Chain A
Amino acid sequence: MAIKQVSVFVENKKGALADALRALSDAGIGLRALSIADTNDFGILRVITDDNAKAMLILSEHGYVCSKTDVVAAAADDKPGGLAALLALLSDAGIDVEYVYAFVAQAKSHACVVLRVKDNAAAEAVLAKAGVSLITEEDIAKL
């Protein structure tokens, strides 16, 4: 059920992020979601694209260190407290979230929340049990 995310190591240098994103756009790859973790020395660019396999290939060809990671994507109500409620479900179930980011797709009543946890299956089970709809690769492709 989990969806694929591509993570890219980006050095904290001028233009580094733009260069990585240009490599993707030049190959006609579209971004569905994006988040960046940054430190003084480096950043980790995390993207969900419309063609993750091709994105990995293109980035590797351009000399980037990247990896594919399975992440959980779930639909949260697009209203105040929507994300908080979703996170509370995981927290109550003892599931730690490494990082989270969200995006709102056009003309939808919910936001898509991307969650990085240790055990995807456990997190998905908790969310599904609480009636949260999970987002699949197919759903992403249709966006």
Chain B
Amino acid sequence: MAEQRYYQKEIETMPYEQMRALQSERLVKQVKHVWDNVPFYRARMEEKGLTPDDIQSIDDLHKLPFVCKDDLRDQYPYGLLATDLKNCVRIQSTSGTTGRRVVAFYTQKDVDLWEDCCARAITAVGGTNEDVCQVAYGYGLFTGGPGLNGGSHKVGCLTLPMSSGNTERQIQFMMDLGATILCCTPSYAAYIGEALKEQGYKPEDNKLKAGIFGAEPWTNEMRRDIEKSLGIKAYDIYGLTETTGPGVSFECSEQTGMHVNEDHFIPEIIDPETGEVLPDGEKGELVFTSITKEAFPLLRYRTRDICVLSRKKCSCGRTLIKMSKPMGRSDDMMIIRGVNVFPSQIETVLLNEGYSPNYQIVIDRVNNTDTMEVNVELTPELFSDTVRDIRNAEKQLTAAMVTMLGIRPDVHLVAPKTITRSEGKAVRVIDKRKLHD
């Protein structure tokens, strides 16, 4: 890329020491804010014998207790809210996961800063007010659509708020309105690429130049496929509803990791077993502290994503620390078609529906789209002598899983004791996808 553009140059290219000072100032303020407003944080800090006075700078960050997803679930819905509801203007929620729903609150300022983060991401891939930005992430509770939509507005792009799905219409608008930037999940980008080809379009027929793809793991191999099929540069973006949504970190022209918007989110890498902070360059679990969020601040939130941080000088000129693509998880969460799925959710559905929790999840990626199969062992009580009854049982189970997971798995009833067991312990998840390089 010829010329580098920044959305907020001063922040994005801020010298390290200055960034540390900014982070320290914001951290100290944030710790006081949650101590005063969130009994949960106060209790957690008191358990460790801490008061806000113990946090004088970013060097004290490691003293603070961790927060994990279970805490968020336990505190649902208002337990972690740090401001009056009258100051909040929005909620977003994790995708369709009934058992583990997390609701995050936003003040107008929170929304504003989040959109700034997304605007930085769009600018980093070359976006300007002359671009047409097609946002094909889901809109609604899912953060993908609203986040990139807001960022696109801030940059001044003509924004196409397509939401996900209806590929026919996506293609029609893309071609007729000359979309130049596409934002969606990488699997949907690959799908659109396939659909364009099927309709007889060549990669050079569209006006797209860049894509911002996130919300699910993808490899560099998949990146090359998408770049080829759409004739674009494909960039990664990272985020999670708990901290804000997409835009926590984003890729630049170098495409070698994502710059963390560390003026809002301080990243740490810890040893997932001991909780000990690891130095930059070491692989471990990513932890975020949101230092500017008003409504739903998180101190040391354990993302369960395994990755590496790097302060190596970047050719784009940004000084923001870079994180690698997540290389795996430190828990059993699966990301399927952009949706977070836990084996425990499948188990809950089975127990609710009267099945024994003997199941196996088989995940694969066919034509760049995730497939999910759930094999469930049949019990004599649920067995019937007619095919119709068994098919109906499968349908009912599928419907219950759709409600719980937000995605539709292929459910198969199988004979008992046929699910692979290794050393007496059943293998619950077989993931055939190649997600990490």
Contacts and interface: CB of A to CB of B under 8 A. Distances in A.
A5 B385 contact: yes
Contact of A116 (B378, B385, B414): B385
Contacts of A103: none
Given A9-B378, A11-B418, A65-B378, A41 B412 contact: yes
A64 B413 CA distance: 13
User: Taking chain A's interface residues, is the majority helix, strand, or loop, or is none over half, making it mixed?
Assistant: strand
B383 A99 contact: no
B383 A66 contact: yes
Contact of A46 (B379, B383, B385): B385
Interface residues of B, number: 18
Contacts of B417: 63
Contacts of B391: 39
B371 to A, nearest CB: 15
A65 B386 contact: no
B415 A64 contact: yes
Given A44-B385, A116-B385, A116-B386, A63 B380 contact: no
Contact of A11 (B383, B386, B415): B415
A109 to B, nearest CB: 30
Contacts of B385: 5, 7, 44, 46, 67, 69, 116
Contacts of A9: 378, 383, 390, 413, 415
B378 A44 contact: no
B416 interface: yes
B387 A65 contact: no
A11 B377 CA distance: 11
Interface residues of A, number: 21
Nearest to B418: A11
B384 interface: yes
Given A5-B385, A41-B412, A116-B385, A65 B380 contact: yes
Contacts of B413: 9, 42
Contacts of B415: 9-11, 42, 63-65
B244 to A, nearest CB: 43
A117 B383 CA distance: 17
Given A5-B385, A63-B416, A42 B380 contact: no
Nearest to A6: B385
Interface string A73-108: 000000000000000000000000011000000000
A53 interface: no
Contacts of B387: 37, 39, 44
A25 interface: no
A99 B386 CA distance: 8
**Which of B386, B416, B418 has the most CB atoms of chain A within a 10 A radius of its CB?**
B386
Contact of B386 (A10, A44, A63): A44
A81 to B, nearest CB: 27
Nearest to B380: A65
A116 to B, nearest CB: 7
A42 B383 CA distance: 12
Interface in B205-240: none
B416 to A, nearest CB: 6
Contacts of B418: 11
A62 B35 CA distance: 62
13 contacts: A7-B383, A7-B385, A9-B390, A10-B415, A11-B418, A41-B412, A42-B413, A42-B414, A44-B386, A44-B390, A65-B380, A65-B383, A67-B383
Interface of A: 5, 7, 9-11, 37, 39, 41-42, 44, 46, 60, 63-67, 69, 98-99, 116
Given A7-B384, A44-B387, 4 more contacts: A5-B385, A9-B383, A11-B414, A42-B390
